[in-house]
Structure 1
Amino acid sequence: MSRYLGFIVVAMAVMLPVQALALNAPEGRVLLVVSGKVEHTNVGDEAHFDKAMLEALAQHETASRTPWYDGVVRFSGPLGRAVLDAAGANGEHVRVSALNDYAATIPVSDFEAYDVILAMQADGKTLRIRDHGPLFVIYPFDTHPELLNEEILVRSVWQVNRINVE
């Protein structure tokens, strides 16, 4: 009997990481859909995230000057790499799209090299659509001033609602 119990314990230990990677279905309004080369899905072949799911991911805060706001603004939200990890992304680029269909291609390496966030708040206030929300790609411009250039600025998509992993 103890031999079977040992087998069950080992089998459960092997299965636990797979279960931990499962993505729960969103319970609230979906703010972000991640599609394309993703392994962890919860609606068809896509990963849908509501506000609570995004807030449960690794969060980051950056205080930075941007061309879109006056002065230094404190942005907060999940790290881009945390969102990609949660979806099991396996690509080299992501196509980030906004509510108005604007889109930009961002190398996944940006998310690995820098603490790029999908800002959900600015100065402690939830980003509404009229405030560039619900999600805004924010690079750490103040800690990496070399990022404040046209190539990166076009990647700073606001009103983000979709990421396609390519």
Structure 2
Amino acid sequence: MFTRQIVRSMVLGAALFAAGAAAALEPAEGEVLLTVTGAIAHTNADGAAQFDLALLEGFETVAIETTTIWTEGVQVFEGVELADLLAAVGAEGATLRAIALNDYAVDIPVADAVEGGPIIAFLRNGETMSLREKGPLWVIYPFDSNPEYQTEQIYARSIWQLDRIEVQP
């Protein structure tokens, strides 16, 4: 019997093969929420990979139940694992420069992008997030599942109102 990870790897591999064969990702048709640039192999817009909500929802979504230092009580965040997004764009760098709508920026090591690690959340408690609610995209780590995620360094990487990611060598 296949495990979730084996099946997931097969699906991602097939998606990457298809993306590589087509030399591009599907284009964003709605409002672009996230643009990924830099050291990437797969694009869908002039040297960039752009994602609208529908494209993000097309990934296998993951839910994280966790508390945060910015919210009250346990929250349920849903989104795409950072590792899956990086695989889909063929990221070939060591650092991600994550930039918010207000141009606030943080560096996230690509090494953080592991299964069970951070997600790019587009839902909080089943609802899309407005700008006022730190949306539409928020990098969320599973803070409650691992004490290593409960540090100032990790909290600083949990950028909200995420707008773009630059994959750097």
**TM-score with structure 2 setting the length:** 0.85
Cross-structure match for 1:58:
60
Q: 1:16 to 1:135 in 2, by over 3 A?
A: closer
Contact 2:83 2:115 in 1 (8 A): no
Cross-structure match for 1:140:
142
* Partners of 1:141 and 1:125 in 2: CA distance: 20
Which residue of 158, 161, 165 maps to 2:160? 158
Per-residue deviation at 1:24? 1.1
In structure 2, list runs of 5 or more residues that go unmatched.
Answer: 1-16
Cross-structure match for 2:14:
none
Structure 1 ranges of 4+ moved more than 6 A: none
Q: What secondary structure, in the 3-state scheme, does the structure 2 residue paired with 1:97 have?
A: strand
Which residue of 81, 92, 104 maps to 2:106? 104
Per-residue deviation at 1:147? 1.1
* Partners of 2:130 and 2:158 in 1: CA distance: 16
Root-mean-square deviation (CA), in Å? 1.6
Question: Residue type of the partner of 1:50?
Answer: D
* Partners of 1:115 and 1:67 in 2: CA distance: 18
Q: What secondary structure, in the 3-state scheme, does the structure 1 residue paired with 2:54 have?
A: helix
* Partners of 2:22 and 2:60 in 1: CA distance: 15
